[in-house]
A and B are shown apart, each in its own frame.
Chain A
Amino acid sequence: MMRCLFVFRYGPVGGSRAQETFDLMLTLAAFDQKVESLLLDDGVLHLLPGQQVQDLAWCHVPALWQELELYGIEPPLVEHESLLERGLDRSSLLIPVRVVQRDTLPELFENFDRLMGD
């Protein structure tokens, strides 16, 4: 089994980055691979509550995160420092997450076979 970590580092709105990263993540999950997600830097903004669907957006990113559980994917890993830098904490996020410290990331990466950027 391949262990894949999807690393989200960019904000959720604009373009097809989020949707197309999700599509690959869910496809790998459908192949029974171990798939997890890690939110860093502006990636943590994916989980900001109150995002409204606009006509311009063809994809509502918060809904994608809320559906993760249905695919048997664990709650996202979120970097503590990235939250802090943006004045956020886990309780202000859209869904339950697992918080990790920045200096533990290299160790975390060792648990995966593939790192996939967004």
Chain B
Amino acid sequence: MNKLKTNTPPDGFLKYTLQVNASPYQGESADLAFGFANAVVAKGHVLHRVFFYRDGVYHALGELLPSEEEVAKISRWSKLAETSGVDLGICSAAAQRRGVWAPGGESRLAQGFRVAGLALLAESIIETDRLLVFG
């Protein structure tokens, strides 16, 4: 480890929150969000948090099994979390409503995702320089 990893972007760089409202297979919003997320990281900005809300919570389903030729619409987020350190939050109420998660059911979630309240999204919106909403 070289430097302390901080969450503060250097001068001229910004801190982003992404809100994803669409499910992985609904139109192109999720793809747009992922392309944007990747570019934020590649350009040296801080991707603080991606918050999956509304039908976006389906992203956290750990048991989706796309065929091998398909784009891995879930695991690509897990990988991004691993390489960039971005926090992947899903809204607890929206997830419960859709059966994606129930209290105690964290083990079913895809890698890198965690359950949080809407307060976490509100906090991100307040603390970061930009909010992009997809879907």
Contact = CB atoms under 8 A, between A and B. Distances in A.
User: In the complex they form, do A and B come into direct contact, defined as C-beta atoms under 8 angstroms apart?
Assistant: yes
Interface of A: 2, 4, 16-17, 20, 23-24, 27-28, 30-31, 33, 114, 116-117
A2 B131 CA distance: 12
A27 B118 contact: yes
17 contacts: A2-B125, A16-B97, A17-B54, A20-B53, A20-B94, A23-B93, A24-B53, A24-B121, A24-B122, A27-B118, A27-B121, A28-B125, A30-B122, A31-B122, A31-B123, A31-B126, A116-B133
B126 A33 contact: yes
A17 B55 CA distance: 10
Contact of B119 (A2, A4, A31, A114): A31
A16 B93 CA distance: 12
A87 to B, nearest CB: 31
| Nearest 6 pairs of A and B residues by beta carbon | A27-B118, A27-B122, A28-B122, A31-B122, A20-B54, A2-B126
Contacts of B131: 114, 116
Contacts of B133: 116-117
A4 B131 CA distance: 11
Nearest to B135: A117
B17 to A, nearest CB: 10
Nearest to B21: A20
Chain B residues touching A, range: 10 to 19
B119 A27 contact: yes
Interface string B100-125: 00000000000000000011011101
Nearest to A117: B133
B134 to A, nearest CB: 10
Nearest to A17: B54
B120 to A, nearest CB: 10
Contacts of A31: 119, 122-123, 126
A31 B54 CA distance: 21
Contacts of A20: 53-54, 94
Nearest to B54: A20
Given A20-B94, A114-B125, 6 more contacts: A24-B118, A27-B119, A28-B122, A28-B125, A28-B126, A117-B133
